């Protein structure tokens, strides 16, 4: 915008200089000079309250030798040459023009010295052009004094550059230089802006690439950390499994081997022999149970579990669950609703028996089992999906409860609390079976015992009516 303004000003100043120079080269007639100058002088001196200041302004504006103000009698009342003040116009033509309000121009020798700024510039006898022009609406006249050589130079100045044109050309040059500087600065700013924009784009692109690389590295690091955690967990489980198998298998196996050696090498009474044989049978059964659990887990993980779910009355399920383990104490009896349960009663009995064995292993002395269509507990942990229409089987023990830190891992494979006996597979298998039965398994525990709640699907009455129809 500034460059455009400078361009306009430069063109204007240059145009004005051309006009001034062209006008100065046109010859000017003497009458035109006199009429034009006297007209400007009369305008400056008309109705002025300070004639001395007015004549000075007129001389400066006209750039001539001297200006005087005459009254109606031809007497000089104000002049740029102080000695002339109060003197009458000596030339008869000038005096006639002033008295008769006529325009008059004569070339004549002056009678007295002409002073400018206290210095005699034209002594008496110098020939000057003197022009008298009346002031409109007044009795006074203005008298202009021209030097002959200056008047001739004003008539025509071919080939000479005028001072006004030089000044205008200088002003045009200044505006042009200033505008050029603005354009150069603007060009540099634009070039630098483009360079910065390219650098910013380059940095932004590389920043995005770096961010993507960092995200990829973070993702890879997270995957590596997860893989490391999983590997460490597998190593921990494997180590614990080896220790567990070493302990769980070695103890009954040692008992069996020791009993066999006693039977072979020692003469025992029939009563002692019976005790040793019973111990060997129990330990052998324990070994068989451990092996069966390990094989069952392997089959579940390789093939999965699939049961054929059938509709069974709730009272039959309750009776079967109360007899699933010899240590079960039936819960106080209550009237069960006429409901049908969609389940596999054999698999469900295995889960209840496993929960009872787990409670006995961890110190429970009293275990009860009950069935209800009402939700019994506020679960602290639940696995599987609880059906919308469910029947709930609760296994309640009076054991020491489950450690809160260990609680989140109780349904995981090979997880055991401390150095307790067992393989750590019972609750894991119970979870897998319940999920295959399309139910859920929840636990609520405290220092006075634990309650496991099995939730299995109940058949809604509407479905039962349709089936009967």
The domain ranges of the chain are 28-155, 310-468
Q: How many angstroms separate the CA atoms of 81 and 83, rounded?
A: 6
The residues, any chain, with a CB within 8 Å of residue 450's CB and separated by 6 or more, are: 359, 396, 397, 399, 401, 402, 443, 444
Backbone angles phi, psi at 343, to 5 degrees: -160, 180
pTM of the model: 0.44
Backbone angles phi, psi at 137, to 5 degrees: 60, 35
For residue 452, what pLDDT is reported? 94
Q: How many angstroms separate the CA atoms of 403 and 418, rounded?
A: 10
* Rg from Cα positions in the chain: 64
- Both tokens of 273, joined, read 């022999």
For domain 310-468, the question of CATH label 3.40.50.10800 is answered with no
Enter the CATH code of domain 28-155.
3.30.450.20
Q: Which residue matches tokens 């000695």? A: 83
Backbone angles phi, psi at 395, to 5 degrees: -115, 110
Within the chain, which residues score under 70 in pLDDT? 1-3, 6, 17, 19-38, 40-41, 43-44, 46-48, 137, 150-165, 236-251, 266, 292-293, 295-305, 333-335, 414-424, 461-469
Q: How far is CA 72 from CA 151, 216, 363, 370, in A?
A: 28, 109, 148, 146
For residue 465, what pLDDT is reported? 44
Region label for 118, one of left (φ > 0), alpha (ψ between -120 and 50) or beta (otherwise)? left
For residue 453, what pLDDT is reported? 94
Q: How many angstroms separate the CA atoms of 149 and 376, rounded?
A: 133
For residue 245, what pLDDT is reported? 63
For residue 118, what pLDDT is reported? 75
């Amino acid at each position: 915008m500034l460059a455009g303004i400078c361009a306009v000003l430069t063109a204007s100043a240059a145009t004005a200089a051309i006009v001034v120079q062209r006008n100065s080269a046109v010859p000017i007639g003497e009458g035109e000079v006199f009429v034009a100058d006297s007209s400007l002088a009369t305008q400056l001196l008309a109705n002025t309250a300070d004639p001395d200041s007015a004549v000075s302004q007129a001389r400066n504006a006209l750039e001539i030798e001297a200006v005087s103000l005459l009254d109606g009698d031809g007497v000089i009342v104000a002049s740029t040459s102080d000695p002339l003040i109060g003197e009458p116009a000596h030339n008869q033509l000038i005096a006639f023009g002033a008295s008769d309000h006529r325009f008059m121009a004569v070339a004549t020798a002056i009678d007295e010295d002409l002073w400018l700024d206290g210095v005699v510039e034209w002594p008496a006898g110098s020939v000057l052009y003197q022009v008298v022009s009346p002031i409109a609406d007044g009795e006074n006249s203005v008298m202009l004094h021209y030097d002959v050589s200056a008047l001739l130079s004003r008539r025509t100045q071919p080939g000479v550059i005028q001072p006004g044109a030089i000044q205008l050309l200088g002003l045009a040059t200044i505006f042009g230089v200033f505008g050029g500087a603005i354009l150069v600065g603007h060009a540099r700013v634009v070039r630098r802006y483009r360079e910065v924009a390219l650098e910013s784009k380059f940095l932004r692109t590389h920043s995005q690439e770096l961010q993507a690389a960092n995200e990829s590295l973070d993702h890879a690091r997270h995957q590596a950390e997860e893989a490391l955690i999983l590997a460490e967990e597998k190593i921990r489980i494997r180590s614990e499994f080896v220790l567990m198998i070493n302990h769980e298998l070695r103890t009954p196996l040692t008992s069996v081997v020791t009993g066999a050696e006693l039977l072979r090498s020692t003469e025992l009474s029939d009563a002692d022999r019976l005790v040793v044989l019973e111990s060997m049978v129990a330990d052998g059964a324990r070994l068989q149970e451990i092996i069966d659990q390990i094989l069952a887990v392997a089959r579940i993980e390789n093939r999965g579990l699939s049961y054929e779910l059938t509709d069974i009355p709730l009272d039959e399920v309750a009776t079967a669950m109360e007899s699933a383990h010899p240590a079960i104490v039936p819960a106080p009896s209550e009237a069960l609703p006429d409901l049908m349960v969609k389940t596999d009663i054999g698999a469900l009995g295995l889960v209840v028996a496993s929960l009872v064995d787990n409670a006995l292993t961890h110190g429970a002395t009293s275990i009860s089992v009950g069935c209800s269509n009402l939700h019994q507990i506020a679960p602290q942990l639940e696995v599987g999906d609880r059906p919308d229409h469910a029947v709930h089987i609760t296994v309640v023990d009076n054991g020491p409860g489950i450690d809160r830190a260990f609680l989140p891992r109780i349904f995981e494979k090979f997880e055991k609390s401390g150095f307790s006996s067992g393989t750590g597979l019972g609750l894991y298998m119970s979870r897998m079976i319940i999920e295959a039965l399309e139910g859920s398994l929840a636990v609520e525990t405290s220092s006075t015992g634990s309650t496991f709640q099995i939730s299995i699907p109940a058949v809604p009455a509407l479905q039962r009516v349709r089936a009967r129809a």
